[in-house]
Amino acid sequence: MAIPEALTSIPGVRTASELNPDVTHSGESLPVAPALAGLFPAGGLRRGTTVSVTGSTSLVLALLAEATKAGSWAAVTGLPDLGLAAAAELGVDLDRIALVPRPGAEVVAVLSALVDGFDLVVLGPVLARGVRPQVARRLAGRVRNRGAVLLTVGSWPGAELEIRVTGRRWRGAGLDGYGHLQAREIVATSQGRGAAVRPQAVVVQLPGLGGAVVAGEPRSGRRLVEVAG
C-alpha cells in the first residue's frame, strides 16, 4: 500500500526501504534503556512485533528514547495531548519523531502507512480500543512483514508482549508529606507468548532524578510516598 498523499507532507515520512535500504529486519531488535531491557526476552524491542503498554504513557515514550537516539524513526498517532517536552526529557530524539495527532476516519489506512514508513509506531488508547480483532490481526501481519514495532497505549488484541505498570510511588517527600518530589518509581511487568511467557518485572524511576528512566532501587528502608494514578 502506498503512503497516502496526506502523509507525505509530514517531515520524516519515508518508505521502509528508504529508511534502511541495506538492513535486513529479520531477527533484529531496537535498543531500549538498560533499566527496561529486562522486560524483553531479546533485551530490546524485537522487530515485527506488537507491544501493548497499560498504565503509563511515559513508559511508552521511554521505550522510544534509545531507538531514536540510535537513528530509528518513530511515528505517534492518536495522542493529541502528547507532551514533547516530557518526551525530550525522557531522552526521545524529537528530530526523529513524526506526529499525527488526529488521523481522522481513515485510522487503519494511516496506521498501515506509518507501519510501512517507520521503525516504531505508537498508537493512542482511544484508537487502539476501536480496532476490531480481525483488523488488529491484519495490521500485526503488516508489522511483521515490514519489520516495524507497534507500541499501543492500552490493550491490543493479540499483542506479542503486554507490559503493565503498577506500584507508582514518589520519592522525595517525607513521611509527614512535606518535601520536594524528586523521582517516581514504578513496577513494570511484561508477559507474552513464546520466550516471553514467563512474567518479568523491573523497578524503574520514571522519571528519574535527571528526567530520564533509570533503574530503581529496593524499596525497603526508602522514604517513599505512594500516590494514586
Burial label, 121 (beta-carbon count in 10 A; 0-12, 13-18, 19+): buried
> Same domain for 95 and 206?
no
**Residue 128: in which H helix or E strand, if any?**
helix 125-129
Q: Provide the domain limits for residue 213.
A: 166-226
> Same domain for 155 and 177?
no
Number of domains in the chain: 2
List Cα–Cα distances, 176 to 64, 153, 224, in angstroms.
36, 35, 11
**Which grid coordinates are listed for 204?**
524503574
138 half-sphere exposure, CB direction, 13 A CA radius: 9
> Same domain for 85 and 193?
no
> Same domain for 102 and 197?
no
Of the three residues 139, 161, 183, the one that is the final residue of a domain is 161
Looking at this protein, which amino acid is placed at residue 119? Answer: D
Of the three residues 116, 133, 161, the one that is the final residue of a domain is 161
Looking at this protein, which amino acid is placed at residue 70? Answer: A
> Same domain for 134 and 222?
no
> Same domain for 45 and 147?
yes
pLDDT tens digit at each of 229 positions of the chain: 334 444 544 444 444 444 444 433 444 899 999 999 999 999 999 999 999 999 999 999 999 999 999 999 999 999 999 989 989 999 999 999 999 998 888 889 999 999 999 999 999 999 999 899 999 999 999 999 999 999 999 999 999 999 999 887 776 655 455 555 567 788 999 999 988 999 999 999 887 776 678 887 655 544 433 333 3
* Residues paired with residue 225 on neighbouring β-strands, in sequence order: 170
> Same domain for 136 and 197?
no
> Same domain for 151 and 170?
no
What pLDDT does residue 169 have?
79
List Cα–Cα distances, 4 to 20, 109, 114, 216, in angstroms.
20, 8, 10, 43
Name the nearest CA neighbour of 16 among 88, 106, 116, 86. Answer: 116
**Maximum distance among all alpha carbons in the chain?**
59
What pLDDT does residue 218 have?
56
With contact defined as beta carbons under 8 Å apart, do 120 and 30 qualify? yes
> Same domain for 52 and 108?
yes
Q: Helix 133-146 crosses helix 107-117 at what angle (to 10 degrees)?
A: 20
pTM of the complete model: 0.80
What pLDDT does residue 133 have?
94
> Same domain for 76 and 152?
yes
Name the nearest CA neighbour of 161 among 146, 170, 172, 151. Answer: 151
> Same domain for 99 and 44?
yes
> Same domain for 141 and 176?
no
What pLDDT does residue 171 have?
67
